[in-house]
A and B are shown apart, each in its own frame.
Chain A
Amino acid sequence: MNRRRMLQALVTAVGLLIILILTLTAFGLPVMDSLKLIYQGAFGDKFALSRTAVKSTPLLLAGLGMVVAWRGGMYNIGGEGQFIVGGLFGGIVAKLLMAGPSLPPVLGISFILVGSVIGGALWASLSAVLYIKRGVEVVISTILLNFVAIQLLSWAVEGPLQQAKHQLPQTDELPGSLMLWRPNAQLDFHAGVLLAPLVAIAMYVLLYKTVLGFRIRLVGANSRAARASRVEPRTTQFQALAISGALCGLAGGVEYTGMAGLLGTDFSQGWGFMAIPVALLGGLHPVGTIFSALFFGAVFAGSENLGRFTTSGSTLLYVIQAAAVFALVGFRALNARSPMPATPEAA
């Protein structure tokens, strides 16, 4: 059983490689040199490794959000919106902090991150309330709220949150004291990279060691069975989606205080969307998601490096990322197609 899984993962990796080679050929690039650039960009030196790590971080946090929601049968497609609102709430808290008396940095950053968590949770709760009270499909409301969040951010950075100079549509930069700790100033590697796996472990504990997590998985697996045993599905569904939003919000907050340092209209580069394939490739399991986030982080870092050396630049980057998603879809199809292990009547 497990060997079969491994084999399929191998097939996926080979498939990804083939798609990659085809893509590079189509762009008229030297295949071997390009692959080398991708590899070096992801793993080549400590700079590359650091980039892979910081790119994996928002993917992991938001991916965990997807895991919790999807396990609970709430198909949250709104990671992007929750990520953005998380950043936005963090930005509001930061603005207040910068106006007020200075706090110890740890406390200040904590306030920002808590703000992000609350922002993401609130944004997801909107969809949860719409679903529970009005039966609006979660898929639809979360998708639409993504666009609302994007507009909200644009408005905020051109309005109340705009930089003091009022020149660009973005916020002021965070002072160094409100940025996440970096062990090496040369590298992007920040404390959030260490936080994310801890959150993953916490989510594993939540889902598999607590009663709430059990209820989330039960409601996701069969909400009617939950109801018949007097577990109110709606309460649990609300909780699952709120936690999911909180994690996506946290991803936004960590990206804001760890990497971006300011909020602009291009604050999220699709992290919340990419979180979905990350979670799916991770088997909707918190630990699996750590690995798939690393994988996607490496693809991002590697393709960015390639982009730096070719004229095709960012276009190629998206093509390669899309190729990775396709390989993943193929993997899942492979999983579904291969004959089910026949279940004998007797157990």
Chain B
Amino acid sequence: MLVAVHITKRFGDLIALDDVSIDFTPGEIHAVLGENGAGKSTFMNILAGFLTPSSGKVLLDGSEMPFRPRRSRGRGVEMVHQHFKLVPAFTVAENLALARLDRLGKRLNVADASEPALRAARGLGWDLDPKALVRNLSVGAQQRVEILKCLSGDAKVIIFDEPTAVLAPDEVRELFRVLRELTRQEKTVILIAHKLSEVMAVADRVTVLRQGEKVASARISEVNESMLARWMVGDMPALRRPDRFAVKAVALLAKNLKVQGDRDEEIIRGVDLKINEGEILGIGGVDGNGQVELAETLALIRPRKSGTLDWKSKGLESMSISISYIPQDRQVDGLAMSLTVRENLLISGQRRGELRLGAFWRSGVVRDWVRAVVEKFDIRIESPATVVSNLSGGNQQKVVVGRNLDRRPDLLVAVNPTRGLDVKATRFVHDQILKARQEGAAVALFSSDLDELAALSDRRLFLSRGMLVEGGIAELVGGSP
């Protein structure tokens, strides 16, 4: 049994964790729930030995744990990171062998070192090609490799850091099956999460953290989603979807779009779509069916191979309309992580005439504008000179959303704009998108989250292997929207 005893962690003046004690029982899936910034990751990093607490201790079967990651692993505490720790240019077997350097030996016996993990894979019914290069694997398959790394030793406790954030719905179901399988082997499974429905579906027990404090701990049978939500964020008003914008002129019209992917394959194979002013067109589907490529084409980032793209019956390129683009991965496409908040806001600011005097920035105007956006979008930072990588995920996304929506765009293209965000931040982004729609923007919302599509979009299409198909939410989720 893993027991955290009175854990407190301070970073300078900030108290990230305040006297948190939790017991984790073998054979159980114990979810730790909380908003971004609630202290979940700090707590998990302490359990896995990556961070040393300011006070308190962690006991495994009664003996105190060292706060050293390698020694923690040696004692059987493993962690599946949200951002995979894999070497893309290595094969599956080589990545698995890396987790067992002790078995790798001087002669680099990869087969030997990866064997325990591959055996575990067979036990879970996974068919993985050990010779496949990790970079060619889907995200779901990469996560399996990451999980297998943890199973290559004698793991007693496995911590999953937001494992569903990157997965498609069917991959999530498979992950949950594996979590249950692990508990049957009497392992302790700790699941960091912020999606209530997932916690309700899979966990046996849940602990909620809020602002570094433990709010409550309960068996899952004793709670429901709204209780958990209240524990997480306090009371919140329901999402109000305002009535549709009155004018419904066709704004964006795409005909027979064909687009090439990064490997010159034809990834969008003839797409027709139209979006009205003040309308959100939801585009769903499993990731990797051309969502990002289509979104980039609509936002005029990726050139199209053929087809027409018109804005109010004139070529989109020729129109000087404002297009906002919220990319899918804020850390990859959205933000320059080593630059400051101010500079990341200026990414869209460079198109603002009033911020510039010819080639120069008007520093006073820029300062005021940055301050206004930070305030309006409630970006919690010490100063605009804070480097973006120091922000929580929610605040990072607010920077992306803020710079795109501080003024109403004519066309908004967003891809999974709330991925990895907590309830409150998700609600914030949703409100902003609805506000843009209410003010007459044409919105193309790409999302693999069906709940999100159901909640926001006026019409829905689904992208499947580069083609759009009509579909109701109902048949896809097996219930009414």
Which A residues have a C-beta under 8 Å from some C-beta of B? 209-212, 214-215, 217-218, 221-222, 224-231, 342-347
Asked if A228 and B301 make an inter-chain contact with CB atoms under 8 angstroms apart, the answer reads yes
A sample of 14 more A-B contacts (CB under 8 A), given A346-B37, A347-B392, is A209-B363, A210-B359, A214-B346, A215-B350, A222-B335, A225-B347, A228-B301, A229-B325, A229-B348, A230-B300, A344-B11, A344-B14, A345-B16, A347-B381
In whole Å, how far is A343's beta carbon from the nearest beta carbon of chain B? 5
Stretch at the interface among B136-144, B326-334, B446-454: B326-334
Q: Which residues of A contact B381 (CB under 8 A)?
A: 347
Chain B residues contacting A221 (CB-CB under 8 Å) are 336-339
Q: Chain B nearest CB: distance from A11 CB in Å?
A: 24
Q: Which residue of A lies closest to B389 (CB)?
A: A343
- Decide: B389 and A210 in contact? CB cutoff 8 A: no
- Of all chain B residues, which has the CB nearest A206? B359
Q: A338 CB to closest chain B CB, in angstroms?
A: 16
Q: A218-B343, A221-B339 are in contact. Are A211 and B333 (CB under 8 A)?
A: no
- Closest chain B CB from A216 CB (angstroms): 12
- Residue in B closest to A229 when the chains form the complex, CB atoms: B347
Q: What are the 9 A-B residue pairs with the smallest beta carbon separation, nearest first?
A: A221-B336, A346-B37, A222-B336, A344-B11, A347-B391, A228-B333, A344-B16, A229-B347, A228-B327
The verdict on A342 contacting B51 (CB below 8 Å), with A217-B343, A347-B392 known, is: yes
CB <8 Å contact, B334 and A228: yes
Whether B380 contacts A227 by the Cβ 8 Å rule is: no
**Contact size range, B:** 35 or more
Q: A228-B325, A229-B347 are in contact. Are A345 and B337 (CB under 8 A)?
A: no
Q: How far is the CB of B419 from chain A (nearest CB, A)?
A: 15
Determine how close the nearest CB of chain B comes to the CB of A211; give it in whole angstroms.
Answer: 5
Nearest residue (CB) in A for B339 is A221
Chain B residues whose CB sits within 8 angstroms of the CB of A347 once the complex forms: 37, 380-382, 386, 390-392, 395
Interface residues of B in 292-330 (CB under 8 A from A): 296, 299-301, 323, 325, 327
Q: 19 A-B contacts, Cβ less than 8 Å apart? A: A214-B350, A218-B339, A218-B343, A218-B347, A224-B332, A225-B334, A226-B336, A227-B333, A229-B347, A229-B348, A230-B325, A343-B390, A344-B42, A345-B39, A345-B41, A345-B392, A346-B39, A347-B380, A347-B391
Query: Which residues 262-319 of B have a CB within 8 angstroms of A?
Result: 296, 299-301
| A344 partner residues in chain B, CB cutoff 8 A | 11, 14, 16, 42
Instruction: Give Cα distance in the complex from A229 to B409, angstroms.
Output: 14
Closest beta carbon of chain A to B91's beta carbon, Å:
25
B377 lies within 8 A of chain A by Cβ: no
Interchain CB contact under 8 A, A214 and B361: yes
Given A217-B343, A229-B347, A342-B11, the answer on whether A224 and B333 have CB atoms closer than 8 Å is yes
- Which residue of B has the minimal Cβ distance to A217? B339
What is the bound-complex CA distance between A103 and B167, given in angstroms? 72
A209 contact set on B, CB distance < 8 A:
360-361, 363
Residues of chain B lying within 8 A (CB to CB) of residue A231? 347, 350
Nearest CB of chain B from residue A88's CB, rounded to whole Å: 31
Report the minimal beta-carbon distance from B215 to chain A, rounded to whole angstroms. Answer: 16
CB nearest neighbor in B for A230: B301
Query: Quick one: which of B14, B296, B363 contacts A346, CB cutoff 8 A?
Result: B14
Q: How far is the CA of A228 from the CA of B344 in the complex (A)?
A: 12
Q: Which residue of A lies closest to B39 (CB)?
A: A345
What residue of chain B has the Cβ atom nearest to residue A224's Cβ? B333
Report the bound CA distance from A208 to B36 in whole Å: 32
Binary contact track B352-365/A, C-beta < 8 Å → 1, others 0: 00001001110100
- What's the Cα separation between A345 and B386 when bound, in Å? 14
Binary A-proximity of B391-412 (CB < 8 A = 1, otherwise 0): 1100100000000000000000
Interface presence of B258 (CB below 8 A): no
> Please, which residues of chain A bring their CB within 8 A of the CB of B437?
none
Pair A214/B51 contact, Cβ less than 8 Å = no
Q: Are A212 and B334 in contact (CB under 8 A)?
A: no
- In the bound complex, residues from chain B placing their C-beta under 8 Å from that of A230 are 299-301, 323, 325
